[in-house]
A and B are shown apart, each in its own frame.
Chain A
Amino acid sequence: ELKVEQNPLFLSMQEGKNYTIYCNYSTTSDRLYWYRQDPGKSLESLFVLLSNGAVKQEGRLMASLDTKARLSTLHITAAVHDLSATYFCALYSDEKLTFGTGTRLTIIP
């Protein structure tokens, strides 16, 4: 059974600090997505990573993919309050998208 695991599940960080969310998965794939979800809202696509070594950056967020290690990371630089949300990674394999457990991020002033 395919497993997509994120850690940490909960993360409180101070504004201005850096941190990384990890996404591990159990099968071979070269396509991984990161989504953001605000409370009561739907999922917003952040990044699509399509190959080993792929790195994408948008503002204070940077995502990378290591298919050999079956690991993706989402790095947050100099966090600001409006980054508070739940972040999901999702792995595309066997023609379907399997989501991770989610990381609830709270930025503290």
Chain B
Amino acid sequence: EAGVAQSPRYKIIEKRQSVAFWCNPISGHATLYWYQQILGQGPKLLIQFQNNGVVDDSQLPKDRFSAERLKGVDSTLKIQPAKLEDSAVYLCASALELAGPGELFFGEGSRLTVL
């Protein structure tokens, strides 16, 4: 079974530039998450989708971050304009369903460096 795919793996940009990350979840997984992991910290949830609807985006900095999950499969996370403090690994995860007892499966992550 293929895992959660993310791209690009690494991205270096200057502040005020924009960047987009892509995630393809495990086939059939209805729930998709984007997490931000700053070096030395635990992952922090940015946004959670159930199919193509947003379940929780309370911790997403909406003035600069946006995310979408068209057709309930792939998802894109965008940052515009980037700030130095956005340097982090952006992890995508998927789960079979929202309320079930199953676990989350994480992708390899996209490492962003903002200079």
A residues in contact (CB < 8 Å) with B: 4, 31, 33, 35, 41-45, 48, 50, 88, 90, 95-102
Contacts and interface: CB of A to CB of B under 8 A. Distances in A.
Interface of B: 33, 35, 40-45, 48, 55-56, 91, 98-99, 101-109
Contacts of A33: 103-104
A101 B41 contact: yes
Given A96-B45, A96-B48, A99-B43, 14 more contacts: A4-B42, A31-B101, A45-B104, A48-B101, A88-B42, A95-B48, A95-B56, A96-B56, A97-B33, A97-B45, A97-B104, A98-B45, A100-B42, A102-B40
Contacts of B41: 101-102
Q: Is the interface of A mostly helix, strand, loop or mixed?
A: strand
Nearest to A88: B42
A42 B42 contact: no
Nearest to A33: B103
Contacts of A88: 42-43
A41 B33 CA distance: 17
Closest 7 CB pairs of A and B: A99-B42, A43-B106, A42-B106, A42-B108, A45-B103, A99-B43, A102-B42
Contact of B43 (A43, A50, A95): A43
Contacts of B33: 97
A74 to B, nearest CB: 14
A90 B48 CA distance: 16
